[in-house]
């Protein structure tokens, strides 16, 4: 995942201003397009042959990239999970570009999107997540480049805190970290046994746990089917 080092370009001391912002932007766009190309090819192959049954070489051939290009973007096959998180954040941002409304509703919408996309290839995602959790290289890649989803969660929580929807005594970074780590445990199958809970039930429990802990008032937003009594703590 380490970026390729480039030799600095030495320019003569002439009185001109060189605007480097656009080339850097082009490089960033090209890098992201390559990542998306690799990820899309990998997910197509995983859908047919399973996560464990597909090699990096096969992914490179399908994506039409060199093996070295793959490893410049993803240190291991399991690190493709970082791109999954990035695609979720990008899809949500594209669907709600302004994000100036109900933070509570946005949090719920993001969780629903995450669960829905996960379930589209649940077996593949479970295998990828298990490999990810056992790969120090993939975990490091997530810490370095995998902040898109957590930053989006933090932004939603901070907006909810500013509007009075969420408690301000809890750091938004902690909320995002707790939610994502809890989601990881659930999605990896280490909380519920297979078939023990329906996906929608799990999703609602995740939302109940986080959002009722964030509510500015205990009875501000009762969960689905809940009828809290007066004075009952969330």
Residue 82: pLDDT band (50, 70, 90) is very high
> Does the pLDDT of residue 32 top 80, yes or no?
yes
pTM for the structure as a whole: 0.73
Residues 127, 44 share a domain: no
Domains held by the chain: number:
2
The reported pLDDT for the residue numbered 211 is: 78
Report the CATH number that the domain containing residue 35 is assigned in CATH. Answer: 1.10.10.60
Residues 105, 198 share a domain: yes
Domain contains 11 = no
Distance of CA 33 to the CA centre of its chain: 17
Domain that holds residue 83: 75-214
Residue 189: pLDDT band (50, 70, 90) is confident
Residues 87, 201 share a domain: yes
Q: Which of 93-97, 194-198, 217-221 has the lowest mean pLDDT?
A: 217-221
Final residue before a domain boundary, out of 73, 89, 107: 73
Q: Which of 11-25, 142-156, 194-208 has the lowest mean pLDDT?
A: 11-25
Specify which residues 173 forms β-bridges with. Answer: none
- The CA distance from 156 to 233, in Å, is 24
Residues 141, 60 share a domain: no
Residues 121, 69 share a domain: no
Do 81 and 141 touch, CB atoms closer than 8 A? Answer: no
* Top-ranked range on mean pLDDT: pick from 100-104, 132-136, 205-209: 132-136
Q: Is 137 exposed, middle or buried (0-12, 13-18, 19+ CB in 10 A)?
A: middle
The reported pLDDT for the residue numbered 83 is: 93
As a whole number, mean pLDDT of residues 10-34 equals: 58
């Amino acid at each position: 995942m380490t970026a390729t080092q480039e030799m600095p370009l030495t320019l003569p001391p002439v009185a001109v201003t060189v605007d480097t912002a656009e080339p850097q932007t082009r490089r960033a766009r090209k890098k992201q397009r390559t990542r998306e190309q690799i990820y899309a090819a990998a997910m197509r192959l995983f859908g047919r042959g399973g996560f464990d049954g597909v090699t990096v070489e096969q992914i490179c051939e399908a994506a039409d990239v060199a093996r070295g290009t793959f490893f410049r973007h993803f240190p291991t096959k399991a690190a493709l999970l970082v791109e999954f998180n990035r695609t979720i954040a990008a899809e949500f941002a594209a669907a709600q570009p302004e994000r100036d409304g109900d933070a509570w509703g946005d949090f719920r919408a993001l969780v629903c999107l995450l669960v829905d996309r996960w379930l589209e290839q649940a077996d593949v995602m479970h295998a990828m997540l298990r490999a990810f959790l056992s790969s120090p290289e993939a975990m490091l890649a997530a810490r370095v480049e995998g902040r898109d989803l957590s930053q989006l969660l933090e932004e939603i929580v901070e907006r909810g805190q500013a509007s009075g929807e969420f408690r301000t005594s809890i750091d938004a970074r902690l909320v995002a970290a707790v939610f994502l780590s809890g989601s990881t445990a659930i999605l990896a199958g280490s909380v519920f046994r297979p078939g023990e809970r329906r996906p929608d039930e799990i999703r609602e429990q995740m939302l109940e746990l986080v959002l009722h802990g964030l509510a500015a008032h205990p009875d501000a937003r009762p969960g689905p089917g809940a009828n809290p009594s007066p004075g009952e703590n969330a």
